[in-house]
Amino acid sequence: MPSETQSHRLTLATIMLALLALLAATPVRADAGMAAAAMSANGGLAACSANTGKALYECVANVLDKLSNDITAPGVPETRRALSNAAAGVRAAATKAQALSAVTQCRALITSALAKVRALGGGYVAGWGGGAGAGAGLAAVSDVLARAAKLIQSKG
């Protein structure tokens, strides 16, 4: 029968292995989750195309908020924060230029994170994503933002 010390060591080792497995899976989940959320957001933007002006801004802001909320992986708080801030900026915009600025600033942050992922050969950038998907999720989010900007530019 193992001693109490050996039992504690075994329990601690098991906990550490479980945490390592969870952390190793975070980049995979982050990238896949972002890509799936971006696909849904593209559908939302398609629905927004029936709107113009302030109604368009509100619709785009709702899509960006939903995109942020749909990205549920624990390792990407900066990505979610950037999207939430963009949504708030678009919602508060009184002009096309203000709405475009909010989306463009967010896209610049996402694109910068994607560049870091690619510079790392597909590595994971803490707070933003990347990893096993080589930044496919961030690229998909960037594409959503580009589409949102194009929509605002043409119909805003």
Q: Are 38 and 67 in contact, with CB atoms under 8 Å apart?
A: yes
Tokens of 73: 């992986």
Q: What is the pLDDT of residue 75?
A: 86
Location of structure tokens 């475009």: 100
* Closest listed residue to residue 31, CA positions, set 110, 140, 105, 142: 140
Q: What is the pTM of this model?
A: 0.81
Provide the residue-wise pLDDT of the chain in tens; the chain has 156 residues: 555 665 555 555 455 444 444 444 445 455 678 889 999 999 999 999 999 999 999 999 999 999 999 998 888 999 999 999 999 999 999 999 999 999 999 999 999 999 999 999 988 899 998 887 889 999 999 999 999 999 999 998
Q: What is the pLDDT of residue 31?
A: 67
* Closest listed residue to residue 110, CA positions, set 130, 132, 92: 130
Q: What is the pLDDT of residue 26?
A: 47
**Cα 22 from Cα 74, distance rounded (Å):** 10
**Cα 133 from Cα 130, distance rounded (Å):** 6
